[in-house]
Amino acid sequence: MRWSLESRIVAVTAVAILALLLGLALVPRGHSLVDLLGSDARHLLERPLFTLGKLTVTPVFLIKAFVFLLLLSLLCSKLRHLVYVKLVQTKAVGQERSYMLARFASIAIYVIGFLVGLELAGVSLNTLAILAGTLGIGIGFGLQSLVANWVAGLVLLVEQPIRIGDCIAVGNTSGVVVRIGGRGTSVRTYDNELIIVPNSTFTTTQVTNWSGNDPSIRLSIPVGVSYDSDPDTVRTLLLQIAHQHPDVLSDPAPEVVIAELGDSTLNFLLRFWRMIGQDDNYRIKSDLYYSILRVFAEQRIEMPFPQRDLHVRTVDTPILVSNVPPPAKS
């Protein structure tokens, strides 16, 4: 069996982490790769920086911890991608659930690896409690938004109010969800811009999910005509225009209703259904407006524009009105 590149990266990273863990567990105390360095370098790397409970933190300990966390993060990232690809290829579950399962698998591997690393490094639960208390102070001072976004990301993965591929509108951002990350959600707008929206925004503000319930949506176009126009003729023409557009659904059928008897216009509302797409709704509305202008011009149906009357109040000073042109300048 030939392994893919992702599988080989995951395997190599797992072996590296296993070797590092075995090195921490099996190497006798006082013997390590640091012994190969000079006395000055050993003294610098093994100098205690601070203590957490019974754990003495040295520069070499911090280096080992950094390398371990880096390899563990790489393993979880590649494992998440590998699990997602395999689940999508098997078609056993949908794309959204495949993404959720892959995310939770990577989180579980990271938590287990982190706890195993703490155990082999000799970190006691009391020390872990001190670290948690320190982290809690940091959260209280400036990490609230980071933790809130991370927790909101877990809520989005579990409840799935939005999923990858959904057409959404949140705040001033409208587009398609392409990724749900730990801190933010990537939304590709209809102008092909990639906007990162914080996850907490989806749990604290109102979000419109156009495709979450049904792939079809209803749109409306207001049309105003003069009172001299025949309402039945206007209704028939609007329905014909809607039926001729290829993106307008025939079921449910479009309809025309009188929305208002305005001051100078008879206001109709053309309501129709379409399948939600990877673009906004301006194109289909523009097409229908072009057709309405053309058909109404052919049928001589007037679409009056707003008119304003000017009323001059009575004033004490007389107003001189004359049609005599002013004298020419010399």
Q: What is the pLDDT of residues 61-76, one digit of tens each?
A: 777 777 777 877 777 7
In a domain, 83, yes or no: yes
288, 271: one domain: yes
Predicted confidence (pLDDT) at residue 84 exceeds the cutoff of 80: no
Question: Residue 54 — pLDDT band, cuts 50, 70, 90?
Answer: low
Q: How many Cβ atoms sit within 10 Å of the Cβ of residue 44?
A: 14
16, 92: one domain: yes
32, 117: one domain: yes
**Mind listing the pLDDT tens digit for each residue in 245-286?**
999 999 889 999 999 888 888 999 999 999 887 677 888 999
Residue 268 · residue 226 · CB < 8 Å:
no
Average pLDDT over residues 312-327: 62
200, 250: one domain: no
**Mind listing the pLDDT tens digit for each residue in 9-43?**
555 566 565 555 555 444 444 445 445 444 555 55
**Residue 75 sits in which domain range?**
5-123
Q: What percent of the chain has pLDDT over 70?
A: 64
In a domain, 76, yes or no: yes
Question: Residue 158 — pLDDT band, cuts 50, 70, 90?
Answer: confident
Q: Is the pTM of this model over 0.75?
A: no
Give DSSP secondary structure letters for 288-309: HHHHHHHHHHHTT---PPP---
In a domain, 328, yes or no: no
Tell me how far CA of residue 256 lies from CA of 14, 111, 145, 210, in angstroms: 64, 59, 48, 23
Least confident of 41-45, 192-196, 261-265, 308-312: 41-45
Report the CATH number that the domain containing residue 193 is assigned in CATH. 2.30.30
Residue 196 · residue 298 · CB < 8 Å:
no
Report the CATH number that the domain containing residue 257 is assigned in CATH. 3.30.70.100
43, 90: one domain: yes
234, 258: one domain: yes
Return phi, psi of residue 171, to 5°.
65, -125
In a domain, 280, yes or no: yes
pLDDT of 293: 94
Predicted confidence (pLDDT) at residue 146 exceeds the cutoff of 50: yes
- CB burial class (10 A; 0-12, 13-18, 19+) of residue 78? buried
In a domain, 185, yes or no: yes
277, 221: one domain: yes
173, 101: one domain: no
**Helix ranges restricted to H, the chain:** 5-26, 39-45, 59-90, 95-120, 125-138, 144-159, 199-204, 231-244, 282-298
226, 264: one domain: yes
As for how many domains the chain has, the answer is 3
Return phi, psi of residue 183, to 5°.
-105, -40
174, 274: one domain: no
Return phi, psi of residue 210, to 5°.
-65, -35
**Helix ranges restricted to H, 192-261:** 199-204, 231-244
